[in-house]
Chains A and B, each alone.
Chain A
Amino acid sequence: MSANQIPIEAIAKLADDVRLIKDFAENHNFNSGLLSASIAPKRKYDTPLLAMIGCMLIVVALVAVVKFWNPPLSTSANNFIFLIGLIFATIASMTAHMRFQDKVVTSIVAVGLLMVLFIGAGIVTPQEALNKVGELAK
């Protein structure tokens, strides 16, 4: 046997050692009665999505109140409305996360609503908000 030849046993051992099991599924007499593959009827309403949209609309409505209420509201009233807006922005972000289970979507909803609130409250100008979003996107 030349020096280059590998014994069969060594090859078998090597093959045994490099086994890779990836994304494999095996059913070994599983009791299929435990699970029903027929999809349960979907709930009529997608509650988290509706709650998210509702909270977003409330934030926009609150910003509109601060901006356009005539006669203009006092500073303390504006601050209070801003706080309520923050609470609804938080709830909207939470429901977005419940619905989509995705950090990126949650971040977009959170940052978007915060920008709307900040611009509405006059804390930042739309130009500054754009720059900030640009920085975050980088």
Chain B
Amino acid sequence: MKKDTQLKKYVELFKKRISRYLAAGINIKTIIYPVDADGAVFEFQFNHDNDSSVTIDSVRPTVGRVLSDIPQRMVGGNIEGVKFGGTNLYLEGNRILVIKGEDDPPGWSGKAVVEDVQRVVSTSQGGKPA
């Protein structure tokens, strides 16, 4: 997915939906990683610095390439060979990665955003130590 409008729309809806769960004084900085193939990666960084910026990073060939370029401990080894489906979530410290594996419209709809945010919130409450 590399359509700017679609990517930004997802971020706008995601931030709107998650805002009701945010602790006071927290803002969300967003980095969008577009992908030539299907899917895309969103990085939401929670901060106290009043930073609500949304930036679009350079387009990478696959979701796997994005994950090999940014810090994460969800997938290791040969990430390029991993296929991603649906919506995968990775929460660590003060950041959330939303990894979309497909470009299918239902996965990017307003309804999907609501489900993604609900999964983020429920996942955020039970973590395993780093």
A residues in contact (CB < 8 Å) with B: 16-37, 39-40, 100-102
Number of interface residues of B (CB under 8 A): 47
Tell me the complex Cα distance, A28–B129, Å: 6
**Most B Cβ at <10 Å: residue of A16, A23, A26:** A26
7 contacts between A and B (CB under 8 A): A21-B85, A21-B88, A30-B94, A34-B46, A34-B94, A36-B22, A37-B122
The residue on B at minimum CB distance from A19 is B82
Pair B78/A17 contact, Cβ less than 8 Å: yes
Interface centre among A23, A31, A33, A35 (most CB of B within 10 A): A35
Q: Mark B87-126, 1 if CB is under 8 A from A, else 0.
A: 1111111101001010000000111011000011111111
Q: Is the CB of A32 within 8 A of B110?
A: no
| B121: contacting residue among A16, A29, A37, CB under 8 A | A37
A27 nearest in chain B by CB position:
B127
Residue numbers in B under 8 Å from A25 (CB-CB)? 88-91, 119, 123
Q: Which residues of A contact B88 (CB under 8 A)?
A: 21-25
In angstroms, how far is the closest chain A Cβ from the Cβ of B104? 13
Residues of B that sit less than 8 Å from A by CB: 13, 18, 20-23, 26, 46, 73-75, 77-78, 81-94, 96, 99, 101, 109-111, 113-114, 119-130
Would B81 and A29 count as touching, CB distance under 8 A?
Answer: no
Query: Which 9 pairs of residues, A with B, have the shortest CB-CB distance?
Result: A101-B110, A22-B85, A30-B91, A27-B127, A23-B86, A29-B130, A28-B92, A25-B89, A17-B81
Nearest CB of A to B36, in Å:
19
Inside 8 A of A32's CB, which chain B residues have their CB?
124-125, 127
Q: How far is the CA of A26 from the CA of B26 in the complex (A)?
A: 22
Contact among B85, B109, B124, B130 for A34, CB-based, below 8 A: B124
Residue of A nearest to B95 (CB): A30
Q: Which residues of A contact B111 (CB under 8 A)?
A: 101-102
Q: Which residues of B contact A28 (CB under 8 A)?
A: 73-74, 90-93, 127-128, 130
- Do B128 and A34 have beta carbons less than 8 Å apart? no
Residues in A with CB closer than 8 Å to B86 are: 22-23
From B20, B110, B129, A102 is in contact (CB under 8 Å) with B110
